[in-house]
Structure 1
């Protein structure tokens, strides 16, 4: 594209991605308020996040494919409009079920927006400028996502949680206005249909597996058959994609070692991050007694660091090759997660969460832009939407499944610690507290000793989640070391065609 049109593409891609990512981070800050408003259990609270993540992970591959085939700009704007409409539905919800339905529709809109943003950038910029553009995209998106929770926390504290969803509407209006004549349409011309069977198997497999994991804490082994059915559907999804001429996740993409290694790293790294993004706000507000505004601002220095290093990180692959940043980055992130497992109850932010957060943020700065550059430069330009869709689907599926697993880990640790610590609680209060164990840190009791035991039990579970996340990051580093070999910045864009 002409330089002016490419700049408009970058602006609109940043705004759309920021809107989708912003929503995820803002909702995490709102979780305690939503739990109180809807009288939700811990599992129902998780579904507010997972309903969005499920439809996004299931349909993001379709979103990338339809953008390539029917027009990236057109599909992108449809996604933006759908997301805005669903945001209005979230803001107007009066029951937990209405909220979950609106969140699911938000995920559908995001499934068109998220892969569309990167495929638009890939189509607009030549390969030698793409790394820097992606670096700017990742940095600016990150900083807008970081400012969102601060604004959202302020709105929750001083107005109502409903406004955190309505802030998406003016962003969507701006994107549509700029895109209308700001840049031309791009698409891959073919007459193949869409892989709806693959989408159905992906949705059913991810949904059944997630439901089984999330309900296991309260329903026990009787839901395991649902998870087994989900795994079978996911296996069938792989078979269908390998044989389908219109596969939304073409298996030949994975013949590129860089593409395979980067996606494995994505799986483990973003799975680990889901535990932090979900449970840290709950820890801060329900245990450490931060205000929503303070909790929203906790990760702001971390994202400012990522933003400050975004241009630098965008050039790491060109300077040092693919392997080094994709191994070193996750190892640093793993150290940050391990440090987050140290704080207990109380203490100043600067002595508890600031330093671990900065370590984690530096590791992410080293990892994110090189990771995205490797993925997008491993395929030919006409397949950019499919590659972006696959990589984003991996990250979203990682978030979906990892959060469900983290829920099992935290709940088991919380219940064990609560049961053991409940011997310190007066008997007339003890049974009341234990009967609310599914509410976790939101258990309602006036007894000070019981409140302390509940807080300690939640911190025990939080520590296990952080240590598990640290282990996942190390596995991600090993995956990159095992599979990524050559510099994607220097690879021919025809890698896939040659290996096919």
Structure 2
């Protein structure tokens, strides 16, 4: 196989699995209202189906990125694909809500193994100029999956059952794994090699990090005496965040760090991943709240709601190749991110002023602008991030990038959900009967998204000015 053919095979293989994972993720959020009623759980509790997946992915992302650097990115990536398939099957056949959460945990372990090494594989096989295009194509596959997810998920939920959202992953992912076998040959590793490397792993750092991440999101299961819902969430979020930060500090001084100190001490790299964190934090607000607004407050069916939500991904799909070509020039990347974040900010203002009107134009314009903003933000910012590290650190850098992306989504979903329902005490399901009470609570939530967008924009402008002054 020629080098060009191999590069194309890698791009398509990575993209195909990105499509499947994006399809699954986009379908889940749309199905939450139906799942809540099927298992007789509250709308707030049903979001744990998404949260468990995100939290698990966050816990294992950097560990599997490090494993890819130490052992083999191909081996970890391939194993992750099969774990994802098993998790999808377990979720689809789960007999109760706990079973769904267990299946989502297994599925997320597989996703973490895949995500932690995808960008590292791209970084290894593509030069800087071509890397932005490869990342853009991967984003395009993700966009296609995100587009198909709401539409397919809405159709399946309306006609069959939410279970098929997960079960359909199984045959599709198996076919991709067999087809992609040639693109990711299995390395020859002996058990002696594995044991030797495992002895040098900083397990303490990974343990501290895992405890911190779990604590950040424990407010959904644990309520401290004398605290209301919002205060309880903030205590766990801040406390868990401090423990998580300590794990990075421990890694910096450990004899065998689980995160390379060169990455942790790269301020520009951390700034870029912070921009990504804030963008995903903001984007997750609409992703988790819109299905309930469209299906439970407005009179849209799951199928129509899926098509409406898919508008964001359609825009990202159409713009990703164009933005990827623009981002092939390093000097343009910060400016593209600035444009994207500004559009993301305006879209959140649009969400904040949603009301009871069900006109498509009224509902769609913030969603479309949100898609434009994310398209102009993600690929250029990812290119900036991965261009800051050497190829030997590509695995841990890629997993750190995916970590900030995923933890931004997890924190955003947790914050938006808890903050909304903290303003609606005693409310189990969103209904039209809540009237302006719900709309006011939703508006306050999206005001926070506006503020976070502004912070991300300021950080990016500062990053741009600082990088120019260093030239």
Q: TM-score, normalised by structure 2?
A: 0.90
Unaligned runs of 5+ in 1: 416-436, 442-450, 493-500
Matched, 1:282 2:292: yes
Q: Residue in 2 aligned with 1:164?
A: 165
Q: Distance in 2 between matches of 1:157 and 1:183?
A: 38
| Distance in 2 (alpha carbons) for counterparts of 1:29 and 1:80 | 24
Matches within 5 A, 1:28-47: 28-47=29-48
Please report how far the alpha carbon of residue 487 of structure 1 lies from its aligned counterpart in structure 2 after TM superposition: 7.7
Whole-angstrom CA distance in 2 between matches of 1:459 and 1:250: 46
Query: Which residue number corresponds to residue 408 of structure 2?
Result: 398
In structure 2, stretches of 5+ residues that fail to align are none
Alignment: residue pair count:
459
1:38 touches 1:96 (CA, 8 Å); kept in 2? yes
RMSD: 2.7
Q: 1:337 aligns with which of 348, 351, 355?
A: 348
Aligned-pair CA distance for 1:384: 0.9
CA–CA distance in 2 between the matches of 1:399 and 1:187? Answer: 36
Deviation, structure 1 residue 223: 7.8
Deviation at 1:246, TM superposition (A): 3.2
Which secondary structure does the structure 2 equivalent of 1:66 belong to? helix
For the pair 1:480 / 2:469, whether they are aligned, the reply is no
Distance 1:228 1:318, change over 3 A: closer
Distance 1:247-1:356 versus aligned 2 partners, 3 A rule: same
Q: Distance in 1 between matches of 2:95 and 2:220?
A: 27
Secondary structure at 2:256's aligned position in 1?
A: coil
Give the 3 Å change call, closer, same or farther, for CA 196–179 of structure 1 in structure 2.
farther
Q: How far apart, CA to CA, are the structure 2 residues paired with 1:157 and 1:281? A: 14
User: How far apart in 2 are the matches of 1:355 and 1:139?
Assistant: 21
CA distance in 1, matches of 2:442, 2:422: 11
After superposition, the C-alpha distances for 1:31-80 in whole angstroms (9 at most, x for unaligned) are 01110111112342121111111110111101211122221111111111
Q: CA distance change for structure 1 residues 194 and 290 in 2, over 3 Å: closer, same or farther?
A: farther
Q: Does 1:302 align with 2:301?
A: no
Does the residue aligned with 1:379 lie in a helix, a strand or coil?
coil
1:469 aligns with 2:470: no
Aligned to 1:237: 247
Q: Are residues 1:212 and 2:223 paired?
A: no
Which residue pairs with 1:197 in the alignment?
204
CA contact (8 A) 2:13 2:183 kept: no
State the shift of 1:196 in Å: 2.5
Quick one: structure 1 residues 356 and 394, their matched pair in 2 at CA, closer, same or farther if it must change by over 3 Å?
Answer: same
Q: For residues 171-195 of structure 1, what are the alpha-carbon distances to aligned partners after superposition, in whole Å with 9 as ceiling and x for unaligned?
A: 3212211222234468999964333
Deviation (angstroms), 1:15: 1.7
1:458 Cα deviation (Å)? 2.7
1:141 Cα deviation from its structure 2 partner: 1.5
Match of 1:448 in 2: none
Deviations 1:278-324 (CA, angstroms, capped at 9, x unpaired): 11111111111211111111132322221122122113344443321
Provide, for residues 355-405 of structure 1, a one-character-per-residue CA deviation record: whole Å limited to 9, x for no partner: 112211111111111011111111111211100110111111122222222
| 2:128 is aligned with 1:127 | yes
Aligned match of 1:495: none
The verdict on how the C-alpha distance between 1:126 and 1:318 changes in structure 2, with shifts beyond 3 A counting, is closer
Separation (CA, whole Å) in 2 of partners of 1:289 and 1:218: 32
Normalising by structure 1, we get a TM-score of 0.85
TM-superposed deviation, 1:459: 2.6
The counterpart of 2:417, out of the listed 407, 410, 419, is: 407
In structure 2, C-alpha distance between the alignment counterparts of 1:75 and 1:183, rounded to whole Å: 10
Q: Give the deviation of 1:438 after TM superposition.
A: 4.0
Residue 244 of structure 1 deviates from its aligned partner by: 2.3
Match of 1:77 in 2: 78
Contact 1:257 1:483 in 2 (8 A): no
CA–CA distance in 2 between the matches of 1:485 and 1:141? 31
